[in-house]
Amino acid sequence: MASYLHHTATTIYPCCVPALGDSTGAGCVGLAGANIRCFLGFRKHFKHQLLLVILRKNLEPMKPTLKFLTFTFLVVLFMACDNSTENANDLFSIEIKDEKTTFTQKDVLSLSISSKKGKTVEKVAYSLDNAEKSSGNSLSLANAKMGTRTLKAYITADSKNYEISKTIKLVASETPKLYTYKILEAYPHDMKAYTQGLEFENDTLYESTGQRGRSSLRKTDYKTGNVLQKVDLENQYFGEGITILNNKIYQLTWQENTGFIYNLNTLEKTGTFVYDRSKEGWGLCNNGTTIFKSDGTEKIWTLNSNTLAEEDYIEIYTHKSVIDNVNELEWVEGKIYANVYQKDAVAIVNPQSGAVEGVINLKGLQDEVTQHTTLDVLNGIAYKGEPNILYVTGKNWDKLFKIEIIEK
């Protein structure tokens, strides 16, 4: 028995060896003093009776009270430990045939389970990002989102159930279509407006501006540049993106973890909301039911428009790489248009997958505005329902451009 124990412990749980191998000499005090982690490992693979035999043997020379207390402690510890599970990732791994660094939605994974400790796999099912389990050995990525995805395997082996996971990375399956632009009109724009959000409601242009002490929400006549109504933010807030839904304006602040809600007609503030897992407040847009929020990373979050809870996110990827610093957003005919901070470019993003399907190169537009010391980057995209037409401006630009988007 002792030999079996020692062998098993040496093979599987080397950290337990001193306590177990020493049991006849050091007694139960030594056993009780052993590393609890070793004990956790120990109990996983031995029968209860076996442990009790060892305990009984070691307890015999001790005084009755100490014997009782020590025995009780060990039994309680043993029973408490009995609820933990084996580390399934030490027993199995998910194997992908012809594994690649990155996958696309065109890939179908051919999967198998490698058993590292000789357990016999009886049954296995797979899922991606907790979607419905698939019992076959192939898994289509046709509906998978871009970025890091979690592949899970639900294994039955030797009549026990195990769950293991592995991550894979998805990028866009196609190179993005390239677009250029043609200026149709140039309208006056407040040169002191550090534009952070831009959205039309019918013919009225709403704008959010940033910088602490200069942040505001504005209602403007886009053709004249006249500010029709303006609400200033308190000095501690740095205004960011806006979006309009159901007669309400939602406005983000940058690092203050606070969003504001206004009445569309009066610009009266009617509420606030806070962020959850998103990093910061950058851009906003909506599709009529869901609000989309960028946070300065590669993520665009989907917010429940009733509760403003962050429910999910997509990660923005081209066919080659991740796109971070996603900034001002606009919903345009089923796609998210996202201008990327410090780039003269707008990414056309699939809102389900996060794949960049097109890139609008807006290089040269900033050269068309008055150059001054506080002139800053392109920021602000608005769509007024006219096909292939966007209204764009930038931080402290003195012009708002109406541009036509042209495929190259």
Q: Residue 57 or residue 335: which is nearer to Ca ion going by CB?
A: 335
Q: Choose between 58 and 294: whose C-beta lies nearer to Ca ion.
A: 294
Helix pair 36-44, 64-81: axis angle to 10 deg? 60
Q: Which residue is nearest to Ca ion (CB)?
A: 330
Q: Please identify, using beta-carbon distances, which residue of 105 and 216 lies nearer to Ca ion.
A: 216
CA distance 38 to 36: 5
Taking the CA atoms of 100, 102, 104 and 110 in sequence, report the sign of the dihedral they define. positive
Q: Quick check: 240 binds Ca ion (CB under 5 A)? A: no
Q: How far is the CB of 191 from Ca ion (least distance, A)?
A: 20
Residue 190 or residue 330: which is nearer to Ca ion going by CB?
330
Binding mask 104-143 toward Ca ion (x if CB under 5 A, else -) reads ----------------------------------------
Q: Shortest Cβ distance from residue 339 to Ca ion (Å)? A: 9
Q: How far is the CB of 384 from Ca ion (least distance, A)?
A: 11
Stretch that binds Ca ion, among 160-168, 200-208, 260-268, 380-388 (CB under 5 A): 380-388
- Using CB under 5 A, pick the residue from 330, 347, 358, 399 that binds Ca ion: 330
Q: In the bound complex, what is the minimum distance in angstroms from residue 381's beta carbon to Ca ion?
A: 5
Q: For Ca ion, which is the closer residue by CB, 198 or 347?
A: 198
- Where does this chain touch Ca ion (CB under 5 A) — which range of 21-29, 65-73, 122-130, 328-336? 328-336
Placement of tokens 């790489």 in the chain: 321
The stretch among 23-31, 101-109, 129-137, 190-198 that binds Ca ion (CB under 5 A) is 190-198
How many residues at the interface with Ca ion, by CB under 5 A? 4
Nearer to Ca ion, 92 or 383 (CB): 383
Q: What are φ and ψ of residue 270, in 5° steps?
A: -115, -5
Which residue, 39 or 337, has its beta carbon nearer to Ca ion? 337
Give me the least distance between CB of 285 and Ca ion, in Å please: 6
Residue 337 CB, nearest approach to Ca ion (Å) = 8
Considering only 190, 199, 280, 315, the residue that binds Ca ion (CB under 5 A) is 199
Instruction: Work out how close the CB of 183 gets to Ca ion at its nearest, in angstroms, rounded to a whole number.
Output: 19
Q: Does 198 bind Ca ion (CB under 5 A)?
A: yes
| Three-state helix/strand/coil letters over 329-368 | EEEECCEEEEEECCCCEEEEECCCCCEEEEEEECCCCHHH
Between the two ends of the chain, the Cα-to-Cα distance in Å is 79
Question: 360: which strand partners?
Answer: 179, 346
Minimum distance from residue 371 beta carbon to Ca ion (Å): 25
Nearest distance, CB of residue 327 and Ca ion, angstroms: 10
CA distance 381 to 374: 20
Say how far apart CA 175 and CA 166 lie, in whole Å.
Answer: 27
Residues with Cβ within 8 Å of 371's Cβ and at least 6 positions away in sequence, in order, are: none
Kindly tell me which of 40 and 261 has the beta carbon lying closer to Ca ion.
261
Closer residue to Ca ion in complex, CB, 353/393: 393
What is d(CA 352, CA 131) in angstroms, rounded to the nearest whole number? Answer: 15
Question: Which residues, 6 or more positions from 39, have their beta carbon under 8 angstroms from its beta carbon?
Answer: 16, 19, 77, 78, 81
- Burial of residue 260 (number of CB atoms within 10 Å: 0-12, 13-18, 19+): buried
For residues 43 and 293, which CB has a smaller minimum distance to Ca ion in the complex? Answer: 293
Interaction pattern, residues 336-375, with Ca ion; x per rule: CB under 5 A: ----------------------------------------
Q: What amino acid is encoded at 148 in this protein?
A: T
The burial class, CB within 10 Å (0-12 / 13-18 / 19+), for 162 is buried
H/E stretch holding 58 reads: helix 48-59
Beta-carbon contacts of residue 259 (< 8 Å; ≥ 6 apart): 250, 251, 252, 253, 272, 273, 274, 275, 281, 308
In angstroms, give the least distance from the CB of 123 to Ca ion: 50
The owner of tokens 């910061």 is: 280
**Binding interface with Ca ion (CB under 5 A):** 198-199, 330, 381
